[in-house]
Amino acid sequence: MSEFQPIFQYIVEGRTRDLEALIRQLQKPLRFIKDTTGYTLIHFAVLNEKEEIINLLVQHEKGLPGTPANEVTDWVNSLSPDGYTAFHLAISKGNFSIVKLLTLLGADVDIKTPLGLGSLHLAAQGDFAHLISYFSEIGLSVMECDSKGGTPLHWAAYMGAYYATSVLMALQAPINCQDHDGHTPLHLAVLSANNRVVRLLLLKGADRAIKDSRDRTPMEIAKENQSNELIDMLKPEGILEKTGYRPLLKPYKRTAFPFYFVLCLIIVTLALIILFCVQYNYYLSYFFTATSVSAILLMIFLVNSNPGYITRPKGIKLSYLYQTYKYSEICPDCVILRPARSRHCHYCDKCVQKFDHHCQWVNNCIGARNLGWFYSFISLLWLSVGLSIAISIEVFIGHETDRGIEDSPYEISLIVASFTGFLSVLTLVPVSYLFITHTKNFCENQTTSERFSKGSKFRGGKKEKSCFVKNCYSMCCNKEDDHSSKSSIVTTSSKQMDDYHMILEESGTK
């Protein structure tokens, strides 16, 4: 062992030239050399992440006279005393270049650890989205199971590996598959209290009703662990979710119900006031009619508008994106580098420029291209609700001087005013909340998504306090986002961006 000690030292220190000179001088096979723990030189080089040295060792061994090629391959795939190959160690390090090199040198990508963990399982444990996407591209299945029936998604959920979970689901990993203990990925995410992963699984369609081998649903596990936030996530949807006042935590099938619900409220209130209450204050009634009709027209426009969907470019591999850019800048579902301030909408299943939120009232996303129109709609709706309340008050405190459109007794007008006033008061709270929130957003140049994202430091958006007029103009007119799809990201080199946009230009998506 002492004869080969300098080899290990050179590997640790990364002294490639000295190592090359030494092994040329020795002219001995290297594949039989092991350290005190039983690791081969390739294991040792991988642990120290010395890519150039790994290649040097293998090429030296191949160049020795009389060395069979299969023995070199066996050396690359040799097991450590604990049953791990150098390829397994490279995955656990998350080192893509070494993983790819070992693959080219003949590493067996299908070999499993003593626990039955495959390449994708190990990558999922480490939250290595770039390796997961690469393994998928070379043909490994996201549905492979370990010795206990766990898929890579099970491990990602249990370890709280958010990015691994995201990319595995984008690659169509089975979301409700049960392991030998009956656990789905959702069970494991709840067991380990990974709230962010739980939310993502629910949005992608994880079944909340499946029971494990101990007859427990994810909700029952959350209650056992007294995880209040998880309990709130897992409870059945209520009236607030169904009417669009709160976001749904499940795959959203686009439905026009909230849109027609709000539209009918506006139309019914408008019709009743015109028919029975207009004579009590003509000026308020005319103003109310104008704002209500404008709000209706804007609703129809918004439901048919393009909020700024980002087109998926051709010719770009997901593994390239993950190797080149930060994980947080990549959308695995759309296979794009997300522009600044964009986000993937789980309802529309598309990325949206300057994403604000998905509004169920208009059955559409609110983003760069319709944010100003949405603020106009909320403002008009807020005025309309306030005017409706004012007209109801006028009916209660006064008597008409002229007949209305309907020649009805005063008592009927009182009943109508009570009904419309009650509806308007109920509507005033959520509409006022939306109006105040978006007014504040516009003044500070923030979207709703940016404002309420926990710990969010969004890319490209600047919370400006000096000039609210400029901020409002920027939000309403989408000033700085005209070129958002080609804007430079501070964490990305100019060469990387040039390469990315060259591919975009070649694919004709820009």
3-state helix, strand, coil in the chain (%, to 5): 55, 5, 40
Phi, psi of 345 (to 5 degrees): -90, 120
Average of per-residue pLDDT across 403-417: 74
Can you tell me the distance from the alpha carbon of 71 to that of 61, in angstroms, rounded to the nearest whole number? 9
- Name the residue with higher pLDDT: 280 or 55: 55
pLDDT of residue 410: 79
Q: How far apart are CA 472 and CA 483, in angstroms?
A: 18
User: How far is the C-alpha of 386 from the C-alpha of 107, rounded, in Å?
Assistant: 71
**Predicted confidence band of residue 482 (pLDDT cuts 50, 70, 90):** very low
Per-residue HEC secondary structure of 233-247 comes to HHCCCCHHHHCCCCC
Task: For residue 135, give both structure tokens.
Answer: 């393994």
Average pLDDT of the segment spanning 441-452: 83
Q: How far apart are the C-alpha atoms of 30 and 75, rounded to whole Å?
A: 9
Tens digits of per-residue pLDDT, 310-359?
988 888 899 999 999 999 999 999 999 988 889 998 888 899 999 998 88
pLDDT at position 165 over 60: yes
The average pLDDT across 391-398 equals: 86
Please provide residue 331's backbone torsions phi and psi, each rounded to the nearest 5 degrees: -110, 110
Asked whether the beta carbons of 89 and 136 are under 8 A apart, the reply is: no
**Mean pLDDT taken over the chain:** 85
CA–CA gap between residue 156 and residue 254 (Å, rounded)? 29
Q: Is the Cα torsion angle 368, 370, 372, 374 positive or negative in sign? A: negative
User: What does the pLDDT average to over 303-312?
Assistant: 91
Task: Answer whether residue 18 shows pLDDT above 60.
Answer: yes
Per-residue pLDDT, 179: 95
Quick one: pLDDT at residue 240?
Answer: 65
Separation CA 379–CA 376 (nearest Å): 5
Place of tokens 């391959």: 73
Average of per-residue pLDDT across 86-102: 96
**More confident position, 276 or 187:** 187
Predicted confidence (pLDDT) at residue 487 exceeds the cutoff of 50: no
pTM, rounded to two decimals: 0.79
Are 385 and 357 a contacting pair, CB within 8 Å? no
Question: What is the structure's pLDDT at 96?
Answer: 95
Check residues 221 and 349 and name the one with the higher pLDDT: 221
DSSP letter at 309 equals B
Q: 6-20, 123-137, 231-245, 415-429: which has the minimum mean pLDDT? A: 231-245
For residues 266 and 278, the model is more confident at: 266
* Average confidence (pLDDT) over 87-112: 95
Nearest to 361 by CA among 287, 427, 424, 410: 427
* Token pair belonging to 322: 């993950």
Reported confidence tier of residue 461, pLDDT bands at 50, 70, 90: very low
Given the structure tokens 């579902």, which residue do they identify? Answer: 333
Q: What is the pLDDT of residues 119-139, one digit of tens each?
A: 999 999 999 999 999 999 999
Q: Is pLDDT of 176 > 50?
A: yes
- Per-residue confidence (pLDDT) for residue 507, from 0 to 100: 41
Q: Does position 485 have pLDDT exceeding 90, yes or no?
A: no
Please state at what angle helix 410-444 crosses helix 371-397, rounded to 10 degrees. 150
What does 388-445 look like in DSSP terms, one character per residue? HHHHHHHHHH---SS--SS---HHHHHHHHHHHHHHHHHHHHHHHHHHHHHHHHHHHT
Residues in the chain, total: 510
The strand ranges marked E within 229-349 are 330-331, 336-337, 343-345
